[in-house]
Amino acid sequence: MIFLLLIIGLVVYLIIRIEGTKRGREKGWYLQLFFSKEDAVSQFFFLLSASFLGITLLAFNKNLGNPLSWQTILLLASVIGVVIGYYFKVIYTLAVSLMGLVGWWGVQAAKWIEEKDIKIVALFTGLLFIATIFYLLGRAHEKEIKFKRVSMVYSILGLIFITNILFFLSTEYGLRALQSITKGASFFTSWEITFSFFVFLAFLVGILVYTLSKNLIFKSEAVAVGFLTVLFCIIILLPQQIMFLQQKGYYGNVRLSTIGILWAVFFNILIFLELVGIIFLGYLRRENWLINLGIFFIFILILIKYFDWFFTFLNKSIFFIGAGVLLLVCGWFMEKGRRYLLSAIEKKKREKN
Amino acid sequence: MKSQKLIEYIQSLLNQGKTKEEIYKELLNQGWSVETIQDAFNQITAKKEKEDIQKKAIRVIVTIGAILIGVGIFSFIAANWQEMTKLTKVLIIITAMMSSYIGGWFLREKRYYEKTGEALLLLGAIIYGAGVFLIAQIFHIRGNWPDGFILWMMGTIIMAFAVESFLLFYLAILAGFVAIIGYPFGIFGAFSSYDPFLLTSPFLLLVATIITFVAGWLVKKRMPPELKEFY
């Protein structure tokens, strides 16, 4: 349901973007899907080429008696795709190749987890680390005009990844999943996963420091990223969480444990704050796409929460009233800021004249 | 009358490649008011939009026409397919394709019917694609069906470069994506007994990789100069 709505939303968003495609360097030019028909055609050909490369490697591999695993071929094709994406600044190839790389790590991690019966939460957390790295890479790439669209790819992928996983964890299914995926051996039993986390963390801290030193992100944004990183580190180290007191399999008889209630409240507040944060960030950076993305996600969140059983015990009306008040206050602050900005611009104009 | 002259003058400056800001400066220096210049620009934009809509309408009509002719020809062939000899079938396919290509090229290049000419070129490329599958069927060539789409894509790319038609590039891209989606990748094949590469030559796939890469690179080189700063 969540994914279906997200896909529909993204398609609508893309159609609006295609309609708005214009040439030249205007405000928000980097959001254009294509700059020109030449750009569109070349982008698709490069994407086709990268995809054919993957299939070609698979076919040769098959003919040679499978000397390589399909995961290795996925890695190879994705790395080449990323190189093509960077060299030619073709964002579709880059986006698909990055997803290929994430997919490769996910499959490998699943294999390592299965081998040593490690907590599956390690996989989740790894993906969250990657998403955060993507987001920071997006910010790091923003400085140069040539990489502005590349930065959009990273930022959008990162934001969608993180929001989706937090969305999931804030629902009943997410809590159930968290209960089962925190069961198992520690990730330290696998050197591959431990090494992966070490690399992710080192990378994440490195880019965070870099973006902060170059003033590419706000301090509040850096604090939020730091908070999420610490949260992911805590989640990965958690012992098994018993979220439910009874599990009869149907909604009526399912009751959350005290820890379950704490996590449910925590994740629901977190996702809400994250989305308001996206809108606020868009407002601070004067980026309409961030505001629209945040509003779109909030709309989906409200829609899903309305049907989510979890709020029957919290009382739906309280949630909606709370969310409404919060949004009104945010809106009021934004309008106030806008008025202040407009009056400052007017003042400047008058001074010039 | 005066405003008509102004519009024509602005149009000539635009054709010379001058920016809106430069034109504004020049006209303001000549004593024109901002409102009059703005009004003239609005009229030019409105006229251009009207022309664009008309061009779009013609393009849509002739493209649909080309597709309908293609469908009509093939339904006729399908209805009489069994009674034809192999040679007749091949001749029909080649004649239909060649006449569409030649007609399209002639109309576009010699008679300057750009939209209709392009539509006929598109029809030629569609007939070529259908021809690939029909010839495979006539001569009982064993192969994976996505291979047909790869051949269609490759032929259309070459034709698109030859006649410089973006409509053909779009068709080639579409055929390429159908081919890619059509291949049940090895990763899925591994879970079943079906081998997705049993009948496909890896060399065909390699050629497709190279051709699409080169096509992307060549088209990219044609990017308008004002967009170079983004790359």
CB contact under 8 Å between B216 and A146, yes or no, is: no
Per-residue pLDDT of B93-146, as tens digits, reads 899 899 989 998 988 888 777 878 888 899 899 889 988 888 888 888 877 788
Nearest-angstrom CA–CA distance, A6 and A166: 14
Q: With CA atoms as reference, report the closest residue to A141 among A179, A94, A192.
A: A94
Mean pLDDT, rounded, of chain A: 80
DSSP state of A253: G
Supply the range of the domain harboring residue A275. 121-314
pLDDT in the model for residue B31: 82
pLDDT in the model for residue B198: 62
Residue A76 in domain = no
* Residues in chain B closer than 8 A to A60 (CB atoms): 202, 206
pLDDT in the model for residue B154: 95
Q: With CA atoms as reference, report the closest residue to A211 among A197, A195, A224, A198.
A: A224
Closest-CA residue of A relative to B199 is: A59
- pLDDT of B169 over the 70 cut: yes
Q: Do A291 and A196 share a domain, yes or no?
A: yes
User: What's CA A320's distance to the chain center, in Å?
Assistant: 25
Which one-letter amino acid corresponds to residue A145? I
- pLDDT of B186 over the 90 cut: no
pLDDT in the model for residue A30: 66
Model's pTM, two decimal places? 0.74
How much is the average pLDDT of A189-209?
91
Q: Do A207 and A348 share a domain, yes or no?
A: no
Q: Do A189 and A251 share a domain, yes or no?
A: yes
pLDDT in the model for residue B1: 47
Q: With CA atoms as reference, report the closest residue to B155 among B78, B95, B207, B119.
A: B207
pLDDT in the model for residue A314: 57
Tokens at A125, concatenated: 């957390």
With a pLDDT cut of 70, the percent of chain B lying above it is 84
Burial string for A283-313 (b: 16+ CB within 10 Å, else e) reads: beeebebbbebbebbbebbbeebeebebbee
- pLDDT of A309 over the 60 cut: no
Nearest to A52 among B170, B205, B229 (CB): B205
HEC sequence for chain B: CHHHHHHHHHHHHHHCCCCHHHHHHHHHHCCCCHHHHHHHHHHHHHHHHHHHHHHHHHHHHHHHHHHHHHHHHHHHHHHHCCCCCHHHHHHHHHHHHHHHHHHHHHHHHCCCCHHHHHHHHHHHHHHHHHHHHHHHHHCCCCCCHHHHHHHHHHHHHHHHHHHCCHHHHHHHHHHHHHHHHHCCCHHHHCCCCCCCCCCCCHHHHHHHHHHHHHHHHHHHHCCCHHHHHHC
* Residues in chain A closer than 8 A to B190 (CB atoms): 70
Nearest-angstrom CA–CA distance, A230 and A76: 32
How much is the average pLDDT of B80-88?
79
pLDDT in the model for residue B30: 83
pLDDT in the model for residue A318: 65
In terms of C-beta density within 10 A (0-12 exposed, 13-18 middle, 19 or more buried), how is residue A108 classed? Answer: buried
Residue A33 in domain = no
- Say whether A309 sits in a helix, a strand or coil: coil
Task: Tell me whether A42 touches chain B (CB under 8 Å).
Answer: yes
Look-up of token digits 């190189």: A83
Mutate to test the interface with A, among B168, B212, B222 (most CBs of A within 10 A): B212
Look-up of token digits 């929001």: A163
Mutate to test the interface with A, among B188, B219, B222, B223 (most CBs of A within 10 A): B219
Distance from CA of A163 to the nearest CA of B (A): 28
Look-up of token digits 């008309």: B54
DSSP state of B139: T
Q: With CA atoms as reference, report the closest residue to A21 among A8, A10, A31.
A: A31
Task: Tell me whether A141 touches chain B (CB under 8 Å).
Answer: no
Per-residue pLDDT of A177-196, as tens digits, reads 888 888 888 888 888 889 99
Distance from CA of B51 to the nearest CA of A (A): 18
Nearest-angstrom CA–CA distance, B213 and A83: 13
Q: Do A145 and A235 share a domain, yes or no?
A: yes
pLDDT band at A23 (very low <50, low <70, confident <90, very high): very low
Q: Do A180 and A267 share a domain, yes or no?
A: yes
Burial string for A150-180 (b: 16+ CB within 10 Å, else e) reads: bbbbbbbbbbbbbbbbbbbbbbbebbebbbe
Closest-CA residue of B relative to A50 is: B209
Q: Do A198 and A338 share a domain, yes or no?
A: no
CB contact under 8 Å between B216 and A41, yes or no, is: yes
Mutate to test the interface with A, among B167, B181, B213 (most CBs of A within 10 A): B213
CB contact under 8 Å between A45 and B185, yes or no, is: no
Residue A165 in domain = yes
CB contact under 8 Å between B166 and A37, yes or no, is: yes
Residue A87 in domain = no
CB contact under 8 Å between B216 and A145, yes or no, is: no
Q: Do A180 and A289 share a domain, yes or no?
A: yes
pLDDT in the model for residue B28: 83
**Cβ neighbour number for residue B148 with a 10 Å cutoff:** 23
Residue A71 in domain = no
Task: Tell me whether A315 touches chain B (CB under 8 Å).
Answer: no
Residue A296 in domain = yes
For residues A111 and A144, the model is more confident at A111
With a pLDDT cut of 70, the percent of chain A lying above it is 77
Residue A27 in domain = no
Nearest-angstrom CA–CA distance, A37 and A47: 15
User: What's CA A58's distance to the chain center, in Å?
Assistant: 30
Nearest-angstrom CA–CA distance, B221 and A76: 27
CB contact under 8 Å between A23 and B190, yes or no, is: no
Per-residue pLDDT of A253-294, as tens digits, reads 567 788 888 888 888 888 888 888 888 888 777 777 788 788
Q: What is the DSSP string of A75-125?
A: HHHHHHHHHHHHHHT-HHHHHHHHHHHHHHHHHHHHHHHHHHTB-THHHHH
Q: Do A199 and A286 share a domain, yes or no?
A: yes
Look-up of token digits 């420091």: A209
The count of C-alpha atoms lying within 13 angstroms of the C-alpha of B83, restricted to the half-sphere facing its C-beta, is 5
Q: Do A300 and A216 share a domain, yes or no?
A: yes
How much is the average pLDDT of B148-167?
93
Closest-CA residue of B relative to A60 is: B202
| Among A residues 87-106, those touching chain B with beta carbons less than 8 Å apart | 88-90
Q: Do A224 and A345 share a domain, yes or no?
A: no
How much is the average pLDDT of A217-246?
85
Total domains in chain A come to 2
Tokens at A260, concatenated: 């379950």
Q: Do A234 and A333 share a domain, yes or no?
A: no
Task: Give phi and psi for A289, each to the nearest 5.
Answer: -65, -35
Which one-letter amino acid corresponds to residue A97? S
* Residues in chain B closer than 8 A to A63 (CB atoms): 197, 202
Closest-CA residue of A relative to B186 is: A58
Distance from CA of A256 to the nearest CA of B (A): 39
- pLDDT of A24 over the 90 cut: no
Q: Do A223 and A331 share a domain, yes or no?
A: no
Checking ipTM against 0.85, whether it exceeds it is: no
For residues A222 and B43, the model is more confident at A222
CB contact under 8 Å between A146 and B206, yes or no, is: no
How much is the average pLDDT of A89-96?
90
User: Could you tell me which residues of chain B have a Cβ less than 8 Å from any Cβ in chain A?
Assistant: 153, 166, 169-170, 173, 176-177, 180, 183, 185-187, 190, 195, 197, 200-202, 205-206, 208-210, 212-213, 215-217, 219-220, 222-224, 226-227, 229-231
Residue A241 in domain = yes
